[in-house]
Amino acid sequence: MITQREFRNNSAAVMDAVEADEIYHVTRNGVEVAELRPIPRRRRLTTEELVQRHRGLPKVEAVQMRTVMPLLGMERWSRWSSWRIKIRDLDEWI
């Protein structure tokens, strides 16, 4: 447990400790008012893991994409690409 005043005066050290997986209970006037705990971090995937996930995806034909994309509001442009490929050009990419 740590008091509000201790937290205020030593916030950098407390936050460093929280980053190192410590949990603090903050009190005010002897009453527990907060809990400081680290946020769970998502692990970054390796290149091999990303490739393996990609291989497991179902194959999609360009014709299927053309029928689904207008339903999703993507009639003219593909939002799936940062290059803004027109739908009629998707045949070349698939």
- Which residue from 43, 42, 36 is spatially nearest to 12, judged by alpha carbons? 36
pLDDT average, residue stretch 23-44: 92
Alpha-carbon distance 20 to 12, whole Å? 12
pLDDT band at 45 (very low <50, low <70, confident <90, very high): confident
Average pLDDT over residues 11-18: 94
**pTM for this entry:** 0.45
Instruction: Classify the phi-psi angles of 15: left when phi > 0, otherwise alpha if psi is within -120 to 50, otherwise beta.
Output: alpha
Q: pLDDT tens, 72-93?
A: 666 555 555 544 445 555 555 4
Q: Is the pLDDT of residue 4 over 90?
A: yes
